């Protein structure tokens, strides 16, 4: 949705105190499945910037914008994990920090007022800027998120604050990334990039490695990886409003890839997708199939469904009926299952050999013209 303006946000990649620089530990959290945005995903503590964040004096900040982002990152870390990265509060006990958090959460004190009242202050030198990622424009909710690397203060341990998060733990960056490779967790590209980078060790060029990707410097990603062996590549299409894009999916192994192409009629989008495919071929993979014809079938299926609905059956079937074609589950009105069932053997042969996990399916929504990985 191109009309959605990204909201400012900040996140903290928290390093364990005295962690092994060759195998660093980070604190990550699992977001609640009930959340509308990235529910069930693993991420780092963080969230949207509040108006009051800009009122906090952050020492050694190069400018007001950076100061507001650091202030928001510190507040979100405190709210979600109980870790308070400030100066002047080194002697606070765990119980006292809990009391401060209660003052903040209950609304008795604002973030700026809390810091001032307890004579605490933030220092930009405690927050190392390691990137800025912007949510792609097709998302209904978008954020312009600054990431900061922070060392956990002495005598403090993060603990999960009930609310938006379900779980939190210290884990080595390498093990966290391996868990993603084993398809045990789901994470977005900024999180994966951070894990890969930190897994390389806390070397002098760490920040440079963080910023080595254009996407980590605010350039919007087109090639999006959420799960191993799946790449989402949104392309602009004349789809049903308010959506503006349809997701092309490239399902790949080390050698082959299957392309589910929505067939964008726009030449610039065709070229962008072709460039992405060329990059993957250059990496050693080869294309085995292109399922542009599936989208043509959707048009037929949609027409049949509309006709069926006008015959008195209604459209309540949308979103809760599926045709199972091998490992591909397609949402549709039930008469269309007869059309798609004949494709089962072909789809099973193609998808069955390329799907990494039997639990993973491609769910194709006919009403929205979009695909979601389950």
Give the model's pLDDT for residue 245: 85
Q: Domains along the chain?
A: 7-221 (3.90.79.10), 225-373 (no CATH)
Give the model's pLDDT for residue 288: 58
Give the model's pLDDT for residue 3: 64
Give the model's pLDDT for residue 252: 84
- The CA-CA-CA angle for residues 331, 334, 338, to 5°, reads 100
Give the model's pLDDT for residue 52: 96
Rg (CA), the chain: 23
Element (H, E) at 249: strand 245-252
Spell out, as residue ranges, where the chain has pLDDT lower than 70.
1-3, 287-374
Give the model's pLDDT for residue 225: 86
Phi/psi for 165 (5° steps) reads: -110, 145
The string of DSSP letters for 46-99 reads EEEPPGGGGGS-EET-SSHHHHHHHHHHHHHHHHHH-----BS-TT--HHHHHH
Give the model's pLDDT for residue 281: 86
Task: Report whether 235 contacts 273 (CB < 8 A).
Answer: yes
Give the model's pLDDT for residue 223: 86
Helix/strand/coil percentages in the chain, nearest 5: 35, 25, 40
Give the model's pLDDT for residue 28: 96
Check: pTM over 0.85? Answer yes or no: no
């Amino acid at each position: 949705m191109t009309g959605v303006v990204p909201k400012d946000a900040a996140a903290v990649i928290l390093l364990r105190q005295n962690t092994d620089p060759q195998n660093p530990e980070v604190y990550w959290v699992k977001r609640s499945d009930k959340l509308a945005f990235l529910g069930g995903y693993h991420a780092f503590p963080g969230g949207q910037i509040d108006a009051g964040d800009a009122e906090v004096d952050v020492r050694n900040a190069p400018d007001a914008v950076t100061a507001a982002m650091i202030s928001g990152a510190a507040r979100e870390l405190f709210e979600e994990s109980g870790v308070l990265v400030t100066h002047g509060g080194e002697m606070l006990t765990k119980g006292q920090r809990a009391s401060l958090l209660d003052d903040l959460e209950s609304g008795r004190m604002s973030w700026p007022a809390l810091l001032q009242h307890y004579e605490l202050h933030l220092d930009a030198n405690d927050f190392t800027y390691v990137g800025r990622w912007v949510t792609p424009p097709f998302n209904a909710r978008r954020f312009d998120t600054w990431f900061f690397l922070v060392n956990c203060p002495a005598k403090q341990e993060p603990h999960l604050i009930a609310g938006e998060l379900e779980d939190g733990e210290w884990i080595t960056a390498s093990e966290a990334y391996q868990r993603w490779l084993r398809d045990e967790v789901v994470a977005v590209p900024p999180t994966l990039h951070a894990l890969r980078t930190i897994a390389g060790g806390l070397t002098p060029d760490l920040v440079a490695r963080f910023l080595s990707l254009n996407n980590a410097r605010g350039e919007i990603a087109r090639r999006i990886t959420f799960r191993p062996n799946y790449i989402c590549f949104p392309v602009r299409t004349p789809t049903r409003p308010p959506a503006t894009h349809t997701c092309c999916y490239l399902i790949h192994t080390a050698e082959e890839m299957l392309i589910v192409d929505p067939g964008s009629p726009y030449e610039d989008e065709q070229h962008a997708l072709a460039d992405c495919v060329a990059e993957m071929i250059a990496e050693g993979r080869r294309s085995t199939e292109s399922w542009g014809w599936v989208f043509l079938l959707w048009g037929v299926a949609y027409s049949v469904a509309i006709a069926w609905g006008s015959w008195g059956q209604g459209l309540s079937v949308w979103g809760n009926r599926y045709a199972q074609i091998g490992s591909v589950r397609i949402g549709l009105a039930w008469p269309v299952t007869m059309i798609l069932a004949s494709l089962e053997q072909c789809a099973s042969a193609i998808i069955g050999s390329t799907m990494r996990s039997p639990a993973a399916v491609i769910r194709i929504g006919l009403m929205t013209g979009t695909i979601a990985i389950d």
